[in-house]
Structure 1
Amino acid sequence: MNKPIIAIQKDHQLLTSGRYQSFSARWHELAAQQGITTRAIDIFSNATDGVAQLQDCDAFMYWFAQPPSVSRPARKLIASLAHVSKIRVFPNLNTIWHFDDKIAEFYLLRLAGIPIPKTTVLWSRDQAVEFITTATSYPLVLKLTSGIISRNVELVHNAKAAHRCVQELFGSGMHTLPPPNFPFRWYLKRILEASRILLCRERDEEFHKGYLLFQEFLPGNDFDIRITIIGNRAFAFRRHNRPNDFRASGSGRIDWDPTQIPLDALMLAFKTAKTLKTQSLAVDILRRNGEPVIVEISYYYEGWAVAACPGHWQLQNHFPQPIWVEGSMRPEDAIWSDFIACLDIQ
């Protein structure tokens, strides 16, 4: 039997925290330590050569981030491999098809029976106008389908503000929400979008138009709980909101104290990952009437924050509750360990 070959696409990502991250470099390092053969590939060389590099490989790994320039080809390749290839893949299709798409996340979690805030997705101007005119639960949380570190998320305080969102999202559309509380913010947005078109400038961002997504506002949450599930492990920390803001993601105000992580939040995260059959899943949890609900999910995250956890919880057979395992662990190491175990080449 030939020695298995794992193809690894290079990733070298500048994170929002200013750090650089490369899971691929670590995977090559771990493979060398364990005598496992890897091949550095480049799916971006061109469409034909990128695929050809995989033909005699047994597995493929790629830790790709949100920008469309990398996520679009990665999604298409992984979806194609899921349909016609026996090559094992990380991340697999279950893990990433909904990545950075809040509407897809909503449909998936709702159909899976996972507790989430009340969410409304509107696909026509008439639907949207009717909804915001009759809504009695302002403020609402407006979300664009894509965006990280709380970008493209804001509070809409009344029907007048909501009508402006309808006008923009069912009108000219946008790449991103303009800065909140900025004078003439929508006028500024139109100038910036027009200048981009006139100057033929490309932006590595999704364009948003023809939909509206509102989520109920959950008051009384001064932080969220970020739990990352990799296999049977849970890494968790709290993220406190920005000053005078309801948003926690990207605040940088992280509390890694494991005693502050409640069991019901951990069990909800484990249940969600098991239900969705994901290899890697980060969930953001808030409280709704005292009960944990999942606000967003993502396969991708900044590894340094997970590695800074002083330990992790682990589900084990015959134990009804997760067991605490002391000591930090890099998420790329956990992913690698699970992946080579499924290949049976340890």
Structure 2
Amino acid sequence: MLRELLRQSNLPVDGKKARLITRLIGNSILAEKKINSEKVLVLSYDDRHNWGKLFLEEMKEIKGVNCSLFNTADEVPDAENVFVYIHPDHTINRENDRIIIEALQNHTKTTFMPTLKELFLYDEKIGQSKEYASWLPKTWFFTDFDCAYRQISLMDFPFISKSNEGAASSNIRFIADKRNAELELKTVFSEKGLPRHDNRKIGLVQQGYVLWQEFLPNNNNDWRVIMMNKKYAWVLKRHNRPNVPFASGSGNIEQIEKLNPMIEDILNFTLDFVNEFDYNFTGVDIVINKDGEYKLLETTTGWASPGYTECKVFIRNETGEWAPSIFKGKDQWLIAALSMDCLIKQKMDN
């Protein structure tokens, strides 16, 4: 039946079921809205992981849509018919990718996935602490030594100290007591600064600021949620490292395959966050506070592909309820293509 529908639409019939469904849905969206797909240009950033290329391979399943890779901001027109996917780097190419992202911030007509705001705040913990203040545990940011020193006497210990950049729990420190807090503060505001970890780049330091955050105890894990276009989502349960209460980078994970009330609550919490900022491609890390409320730790825009392969992709239906789909995490690029297809439809509707 599925292949027959594809034949009737003059579409290829090769591939697994998930790919066939993606092909059928994607092309039917454009056909339904009578969109001249030949006038649509989809650009994808040529990142070092080749994720931009993987995305375009699936995007090309959408019949007639023009697709191309790009390497610089100058290659991205600011036009209503242009749609852009970017996966930024947080390690080797971070500085170059930041230049591109900042150069694109003045685009007002082009549609981006993730949104320009999401991209700008990616791996920027200071920026996130200001923008997402009501969603985070209590957070303090100081660029003045004396102000930070006075705050120490008001802090509950332990608490978390973070550098602005870092992934997999790098550059996150567990401050156990007042003595450790004072020592870190003096080091950060010293002439040499505090060495900042990055095994790909030696000599980085944190200097002239501290970013402190309330520690939420009794969390043996966090929850990573990937949500696209407010419709597709999957969940990873990440257990803490053996020696510190941080889950990111532990490698001890559970890929969520079944929907239950708690997973629904986590998905709806993420959806509420996404709706507030009108995001379209979001990764969030979530824990629970002492009152049983969900709290956001930080956001990301990417994923470690091997970690999500068997996660069930949940789809939000027209009544706003979440339901399991035929897709899994390994179909992430199919889902990304469907999400971009929906963004094209939404743009053309307006």
> Is TM (by shorter chain) over 0.5?
yes
Unaligned runs of 5+ in 1: 14-21, 44-49, 180-201
String of CA shifts for 1:288-320, please: whole Å, max 9, x gaps: 1122211111122223333431x122222224x
Q: Secondary structure at the match of 1:80?
A: coil
Identify the match of residue 196 of structure 2 among 172, 176, 184: 176
2:328 aligns with 328
CA contact (8 A) 1:78 1:89 kept: no
Contact preservation (8 Å) 2:58, 2:333: no
Correspondence 1:144-183 to 2 at 5 A: 144-171=163-190, 172-174=192-194, 176=196
Deviation at 1:143, TM superposition (A): 0.8
Distance change >3 Å, CA 31–CA 138, structure 1 → 2: closer
Q: Which amino acid aligns with 1:323?
A: A
Shift of 1:87: 2.6
Could you tell me how far apart the structure 2 residues matched to 1:207 and 1:300 are? 25
Q: Quick check: 1:120 aligned with 2:122?
A: no
SS class of match (1:66) = coil
| From 77, 83, 88, the counterpart of 1:59 | 83
In the alignment, which residue of structure 1 is the partner of 2:253?
254
- The answer to whether the aligner puts 1:294 opposite 2:292 as a matched pair is no
Q: Name the amino acid aligned to 1:4.
A: V
Partner of 2:9: none
Q: Which amino acid aligns with 2:107?
A: L
Q: Give distance in 2, aligned partners of 1:204 and 1:306.
A: 31
Instruction: Map 1:1-346 to 2 at 5 A.
Output: 3-13=39-49, 22-35=50-63, 36-43=65-72, 51-52=74-75, 54=77, 58-67=82-91, 68-82=94-108, 86-110=109-133, 113-114=134-135, 116-132=136-152, 134-171=153-190, 172-174=192-194, 176=196, 203=201, 207-231=205-229, 232-259=231-258, 261-289=262-290, 290-309=292-311, 311-319=312-320, 321-329=321-329, 330-344=331-345
One-letter amino acid matched to 1:151: S
Distance (whole Å) between structure 1 residues aligned to residue 280 and residue 211 of structure 2: 27
Residue 228 of structure 1: CA displacement? 1.1
1:20-40 superposed Cα distances (whole Å, 9 cap, x missing partner):
xx2222223223333322123
Identity rate, percent: 19
Distance of aligned partners of 1:229 and 1:129 in 2 relative to their CA distance in 1, 3 Å threshold = same
- Secondary structure at the residue paired with 2:105? helix
Q: Does the 8 Å CA contact 2:235/2:255 hold for their aligned counterparts? A: yes
Paired residue type of 2:51: F
User: Could you tell me how far apart the structure 1 residues matched to 2:202 and 2:325 are?
Assistant: 40
* Preserved contact between residue 230 and residue 331 of structure 1 (Cα < 8 Å): no
Distance, in Å, in 1 between the alignment partners of 2:158 and 2:44 is 45
1:100, CA displacement in angstroms? 0.7
Any gaps of 5 or more consecutive residues in structure 2? 1-35
Check 1:52–1:263 CA distance in 2 against 1; reply closer, same or farther (3 A cut).
Answer: closer
Q: What letter is aligned with 2:106?
A: S
Paired residue secondary structure (2:173): strand
CA–CA distance in structure 2, aligned partners of residues 135 and 125 of structure 1: 15
TM-score, normalised on structure 2?
A: 0.77
In the TM superposition, residue 136 of structure 1 has moved relative to its aligned partner by: 4.8
Which amino acid is the alignment partner of residue 11 of structure 1? D
Q: Which amino acid is the alignment partner of residue 73 of structure 1?
A: I
Residues 205 and 269 of structure 1, relative CA distance in 2, 3 Å threshold: farther
CA–CA distance in structure 2, aligned partners of residues 227 and 30 of structure 1: 22
Write out the 4+ residue segments of structure 1 that deviate beyond 3 Å after TM superposition. Answer: 52-57, 202-207, 257-262
* CA distance, structure 2, for counterparts of residue 100 and residue 281 of structure 1: 13
Supply the RMSD in Å over aligned alpha carbons: 2.7
Deviation track 1:188-227 (CA, whole Å, cap 9, x = no partner) reads: xxxxxxxxxxxxxx94897532211111112211111111
